[in-house]
C-alpha cells in the first residue's frame, strides 16, 4: 500500500515549527534545535544589518541564558558568495568556551556535524561526517592545538611531489606540469580515458623544526589543492565526485600511465580500494578540502607514507577537475598544502593546572587567579596553591612558599643567602631555576655551590650564598624560573 505523501521538507509538523513557537522557557527546547531565519533575515536577500538586528531581537535572550546553563549557541551560514575560498563564518557562544579564541585550522560543515554527533556519543555518523573529526579548539577543555603547514617552498620545505597519469597519453610524464587534471574523459574515440593525480608530502613526522612531533596527537589533517579561477571561459571546477585513496606502492613524479602499468589500480595492492575521502570540488578558484586525518595518524605510527592518488568516479558527467601543482611558480599559496593540527602530551605544568581545576585564561602560567601577587608559574615552582592567597616567603624548615633571603654568618664575614623550594627530577618538572646576585641590578653573577636538602619524593630545599661578603654596599638577589618547551 502506498503511504501518505512526504512533506516538502521531509520533516513532520511536530519537528518543523514556526519561530512563533520558540519557547521563552529555554529548558523546553529539544536537545538540539535549528533556527533558520527567512532569506531576508539570513542575509541571503537582506542586508547584514537586517540579519544582525534579527539575531539580537530574537536570540539574545537565549544567548545570555546559554552561558549560565551549560548550553551552546552556534551561528553559521550555509555558503558565501563563491568568491575566494568560500570561507564561512561560524561563531560559538555559550558555556565552557575558550572565550576570545579564533580556532586554528580549516574546518567544514562536516566537522561541525561530527562535533555535534560526538557531543552526544552517537554510535553512527551521517554522510561525510563519518570521514572527518570534530572541531577542536573552542572549548575550555580542549587541548592546546598547534598548526603546521607543508607546502613546496614554504619554510624551506622541499619534499612535496605530485604528477598526473593519463591513459590517453600513456607514455608522457607530467613532473613539471603546472596544472594537474583528474578526469574520466568520455569524449575520446577510444572510450573513457582515465586521468589520475598523485600527491605526496614526505618527512612530515619527526622532531625537527616544522615537523609534526612523533609524540603528537593528530586532531585534523587536510589536503588542500587549489582550483584555478576561471578567467578565460574554461571552468576548472567540477560537479563530479572525486575520490582520494591512500597509495601503497612507491612512485616518482616522473612516472607515467605506462610505467605504473595502466595507471594506479585501486585494489589494496597499489592503492587502497576504499577511498579515504571523496568530495565535489565545485568552487571556482577555491580550495578543495580532503580530510586525511586517518591517514596522517597511520603515517605517525610507522605506516609508509606513499601519499595519495586522486581518481575520478567510474561514471561521470565527463566533468574533469584541475588543480595547481607544486610546480606553480606564480604564488606559493596556490600550491597543494597539507595542514596538520596536533597537540602534544600535557607537560607537568599543564597536568598540575588541570588537576587543580584551572581552565581557560586562569590556567595560563602568567595568570594569578587567587590575586595574591604570585602567578601560576611561581605557585607551581614553589609548592603553592593557585586557588588560595598563600604567597608568603618560605620559612627555614618550610615546605611551601616563595624564595626568602637572609644574612648568614660565614667563615670570614656575613653573607647574603637565598633559600627556595625546587621540584625534583632530571629537569625539575619542566622548570629551570637560576639564582643570581648583583650589587647594582645591572650586572648579575652566580653564587656559591648550592646546598640541597631533600624534602621528600617531589621537593627539595635549595640554599645559595653570595660570593661577595655582606659589607655596607647594597646586594641584591633574584631567583628566575622558566618553563621549558
pLDDT of amino acid 5: 52
Give the number of C-alpha atoms closer than 13 A to the C-alpha of residue 270, restricted to the C-beta side.
Answer: 12
Q: How far apart are CA 434 and CA 450, in angstroms?
A: 11
Q: How many residues does the chain have?
A: 485
pLDDT of amino acid 484: 80
Give per-residue burial for 376-392: e unless 16+ CB within 10 Å, then b. Answer: bbbbbbbbbebeeebbe
Three-point CA angle 137, 138, 139, nearest 5°: 100
Largest Cα–Cα separation, the chain? 109
Q: How far apart are CA 71 and CA 137, in angstroms?
A: 17
Which grid coordinates are listed for 353?
593546572
* Burial label, 150 (beta-carbon count in 10 A; 0-12, 13-18, 19+): buried
Q: How far apart are CA 276 and CA 274, in angstroms?
A: 7
Query: Does the pTM of the predicted model rise above 0.85?
Result: no
pLDDT of amino acid 1: 35
pLDDT tens for the chain, residues 1 to 485:
344 555 556 778 788 889 999 999 999 999 999 999 999 999 889 998 999 999 999 999 999 999 999 999 999 998 776 565 667 889 999 999 988 889 999 999 999 999 999 999 999 999 889 989 999 999 988 988 999 999 999 999 999 999 999 998 999 999 999 999 999 876 665 556 899 999 999 999 998 989 999 999 999 999 999 999 888 877 899 989 999 999 999 999 999 999 999 999 999 999 999 999 999 998 888 899 999 999 999 999 999 999 999 999 876 566 889 999 999 987 889 999 999 999 998 889 988 998 998 887 898 999 999 999 999 999 999 999 999 999 999 998 899 999 999 988 766 678 889 999 999 976 778 899 999 999 899 999 999 999 999 999 999 999 999 988 766 578 899 999 998 86
Quote the DSSP letter at residue 59: H
User: Residues 6 or more apart from 125 whose CB is under 8 A from it?
Assistant: 113, 114, 117
Residue located via cell numbers 646576585:
437
pLDDT of amino acid 100: 86
Task: Report which of 79, 1, 16 is spatially closest to residue 43, judged by C-alpha positions.
Answer: 79
pLDDT of amino acid 3: 47
Amino acid at each position: 500500500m502506498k503511504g501518505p505523501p512526504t512533506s516538502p521538507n521531509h520533516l513532520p509538523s511536530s519537528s518543523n515549527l514556526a519561530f512563533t513557537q520558540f519557547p521563552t522557557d529555554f529548558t523546553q527546547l529539544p536537545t538540539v534545535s535549528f533556527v533558520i531565519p527567512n532569506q531576508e533575515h539570513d542575509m541571503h536577500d537582506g542586508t547584514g544589518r537586517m540579519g544582525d538586528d534579527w539575531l539580537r531581537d530574537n536570540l539574545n535572550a537565549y544567548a545570555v541564558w546559554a552561558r549560565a546553563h551549560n548550553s551552546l549557541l552556534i551561528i553559521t551560514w550555509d555558503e558565501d558568495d563563491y568568491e575566494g575560498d568560500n570561507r564561512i563564518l561560524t561563531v560559538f557562544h555559550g558555556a565552557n568556551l575558550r572565550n576570545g579564541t579564533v580556532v586554528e585550522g580549516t574546518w567544514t560543515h562536516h566537522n561541525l556535524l561530527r562535533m555535534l554527533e560526538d557531543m552526544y556519543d552517537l554510535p553512527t555518523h551521517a554522510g561525510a561526517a563519518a570521514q572527518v573529526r570534530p572541531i577542536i579548539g573552542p572549548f575550555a577543555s580542549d587541548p592546546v592545538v598547534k598548526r603546521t603547514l607543508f607546502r613546496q617552498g614554504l619554510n624551506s620545505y622541499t619534499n612535496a611531489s605530485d604528477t598526473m597519469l593519463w591513459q590517453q597519453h600513456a607514455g608522457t610524464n607530467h613532473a613539471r606540469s603546472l596544472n594537474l587534471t583528474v578526469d574520466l574523459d568520455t569524449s575520446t574515440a577510444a572510450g573513457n580515458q582515465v586521468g589520475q593525480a598523485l600527491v605526496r608530502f614526505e618527512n612530515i613526522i619527526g622532531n625537527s623544526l616544522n615537523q609534526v612531533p612523533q609524540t603528537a596527537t593528530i586532531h585534523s589533517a587536510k589536503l588542500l589543492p587549489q582550483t584555478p579561477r576561471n578567467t578565460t571561459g574554461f571552468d576548472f571546477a567540477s560537479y563530479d565526485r572525486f575520490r582520494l585513496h591512500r597509495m601503497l606502492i612507491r612512485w616518482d613524479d616522473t612516472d607515467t600511465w605506462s610505467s605504473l602499468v595502466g595507471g594506479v589500480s585501486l585494489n589494496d595492492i597499489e592503492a587502497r580500494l576504499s577511498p579515504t575521502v571523496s568530495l565535489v570540488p565545485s568552487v571556482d578558484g577555491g580550495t578543495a578540502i580532503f580530510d586525511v586525518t586517518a591517514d596522517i595518524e597511520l603515517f605517525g605510527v610507522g605506516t609508509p607514507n606513499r601519499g595519495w592518488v586522486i581518481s575520478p568516479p567510474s561514471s561521470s558527467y565527463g566533468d574533469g577537475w584541475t588543480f595547481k601543482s607544486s610546480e606553480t611558480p606564480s604564488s606559493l599559496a596556490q600550491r597543494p598544502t597539507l595542514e596538520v593540527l596536533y597537540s602534544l602530551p600535557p607537560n607537568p605544568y599543564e597536568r598540575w593546572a588541570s588537576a587543580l581545576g584551572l581552565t581557560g585564561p586562569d590556567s595560563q602560567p602568567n595568570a594569578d587567579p587567587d590575586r595574591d601577587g604570585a602567578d601560576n608559574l611561581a605557585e607551581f615552582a614553589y609548592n603553592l596553591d593557585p586557588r588560595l592567597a598563600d604567597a608568603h616567603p618560605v620559612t627555614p624548615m618550610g615546605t611551601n612558599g616563595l624564595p626568602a633571603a637572609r644574612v648568614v654568618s660565614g667563615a670570614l664575614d656575613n653573607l647574603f643567602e637565598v633559600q627556595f623550594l625546587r621540584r625534583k627530577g632530571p629537569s625539575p618538572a619542566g622548570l629551570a631555576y637560576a639564582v643570581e646576585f648583583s650589587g647594582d641590578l645591572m650586572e648579575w653573577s652566580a653564587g656559591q655551590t648550592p646546598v640541597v636538602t631533600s624534602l621528600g619524593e617531589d621537593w627539595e630545599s635549595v640554599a645559595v650564598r653570595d660570593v661577595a661578603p655582606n659589607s655596607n654596599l647594597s646586594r641584591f638577589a633574584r631567583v628566575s624560573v622558566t618553563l621549558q618547551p
